[in-house]
Chains A and B, each alone.
Chain A
Amino acid sequence: MKITTLPLDSFNSLAVGARRYFLLQNGDKPVIAPSECPHRGGPLNLGRRKACGAKLVCPWHDNAYPTQSIERGALPAIRRCAEISIVTGNEDIRVWTELLPINQGQGACEDAA
């Protein structure tokens, strides 16, 4: 088991072995969510928010996933102030920053009137 502690603003994507995750900003509770869509493997990290952030929409076939259900597949993580600690197996971990539309304009809600 491995604990990786990172400043929250230092990354938004990571690979744990062959699996990709992204940092889903979720109010006070950031989630290290799997990037792979459970439907056909689309890039959830490039998805958009719906229902005021409560759902994430996959860009491939527009399936919408409640944040809560995404969290079930998320890496175990604890945020303490401006740092987050992530628990993984012993696979190699790579972190990087890429443009994630999902975390842009968090307050905006696409289906709001």
Chain B
Amino acid sequence: MSSIDALLNNNKNPDHAMLEQALSRFASHPLFDQPDSFYCDSPYLRPVRPQDLREFNFDSVLALAELKQPSHLMAQRLLLNIYEQDLIFLPQQKKLHLEEFNAFYDEGLRGAGAAIRPMLERHVFGWLDSEVSVSGNWDVDTFKGYADEVLDRVARTPSALLDCIGNSRNPANAARFFLIQCAGDFLSEASAMARNVLGNFGPAQSELFKILIDEYGYGVAQKKHSVIFESLLAECGLNPAVHYYWQFYTATSLALINYFHYVSANHRHFFRYLGALFYTEASLALVTRAQAQAMRIAFGDTVDTLYFDEHAHIDVHHGKMAFEQLIRPVVLRYGNQVLPDIIRGFEEFRLLQDVADAELFAHVAWHDELSQWRPGPPPALPAGARSHPFHECRDDLSVTHVHGATELFAVDKGTLRLVCSPFTELNLSAGQHVVIPQGLLHGSVITSDHCSYTVTSLE
């Protein structure tokens, strides 16, 4: 039995050292280590910043209020890499590097990922246990009544996304940043769903299969939702390659993708999956109209919004199918005992979606602020503020990351480029600074032979 197998078979009392080893083995894999660009040219290159590992304790459970912590982002990146080793990715435009392909799907790497997965899942999703609970005497119609009311509220609430994009100083770039947040999911849309169609669970299985068929375009490539989304990205001036913008996914955007893998890869959570599926399909039918409208505000009336229009149409059906053909018959057949998890999944995904929206809006607001950046005097430092100096050479690249506290980023010598989104970059030189708020993505690349900069916590 390999050491990894031993771990898997004995996860009640995992040998901590072995877990650490698996974590470091997975995270430090060359595919996930230092890249030479902010953009990922291969579907297998997915940097996670293994140099930060030492600072994190994935053994703990993050609270809702701690999702801006850097360990959240790293754990979500690691998890997506682990889950997506189950999916097939081949480059569409670029050439295939077979050694990268072999390395990404390598058995040893998969084993290390499988060993650390439960710990990472607990770290990033454990908080849902304490923020969502379901009690009392539910039946399927009470749940329907509750869900109708929630969805009705979604339908009546003006779109915050539309406001965010419409009120941005640069609606096109705000819309592009939104599309990038969607891309991690939509470019391999419904992959987690496919994890749930195997096995044998009666008529409901065939109903889920029908939804999957719609998502995958009935075997017609141009109808596949991910293909329609690729066209939208290209039309909006974005690169449609899978995970090209990997470094610009926020932690909570990753959480949306990973949640579906989490409840789908672990079939113990199948009933939670059904609830989350219902929420996402039914709410997409309602919000995609505003999303199409946001695209028109950003890119003009001629932009082809087929991706969102298709969902505004088909997800009306998917929402109904998810409830009437999946949830209702499953509850009738297996009893109200399965309802709490279904309701929980519905509510959890709704909460995750709200949290992800808030994080997206915070990023767009910061990008807007940075577009007005002018050199100025640095803010006063709090007493006893801790500073970290860095000395780097030309082209040294710091993979995008977040900080758990708001920080002052000041260049002491040389020049560098601070990259906060593909459309928000600041060229800073000696004596210039910028304040980086807690939890907002940024990276840097050195543009002079030598550069020194200092990062000081403002909290």
Contact = CB atoms under 8 A, between A and B. Distances in A.
Interface string B143-161: 1011001100000000000
A44 interface: no
Contact of B135 (A1, A3, A31, A80): A31
Nearest to B141: A1
Interface residues of A, number: 21
Interface stretch (B125-133, B178-186, B231-239, B249-257): B125-133
Q: How large is the interface on B (under 10, 10 to 19, 20 to 34, 35 or more residues)?
A: 20 to 34
A76 B138 contact: yes
B137 A30 contact: no
B351 interface: yes
Nearest to B346: A78
A28 B133 contact: yes
B132 A71 contact: no
A1 B222 CA distance: 43
B343 A78 contact: yes
Contacts of A87: 138, 142, 145-146
Given A1-B142, A3-B146, A78 B137 contact: no
B135 A32 contact: yes
B64 interface: yes
A81 B142 contact: no
B133 A76 contact: no
B71 to A, nearest CB: 21
A111 B157 CA distance: 50
Interface in A51-89: 71-81, 85, 87
Contacts of B129: 28
B136 interface: yes
Nearest to A82: B131
A76 B132 contact: no
Contacts of B347: 78, 80
A97 interface: no
A26 interface: yes
A73 to B, nearest CB: 6
Nearest to B148: A1
B221 interface: no
A3 B343 CA distance: 15
A29 interface: yes
Nearest to B64: A81
A77 B142 contact: no
B137 A29 contact: no
Contacts of A76: 135-139, 142-143, 146
A72 B64 contact: no
7 contacts: A32-B136, A73-B137, A74-B135, A76-B138, A77-B136, A79-B134, A87-B145
Interface of A: 1, 3, 26, 28-32, 71-81, 85, 87
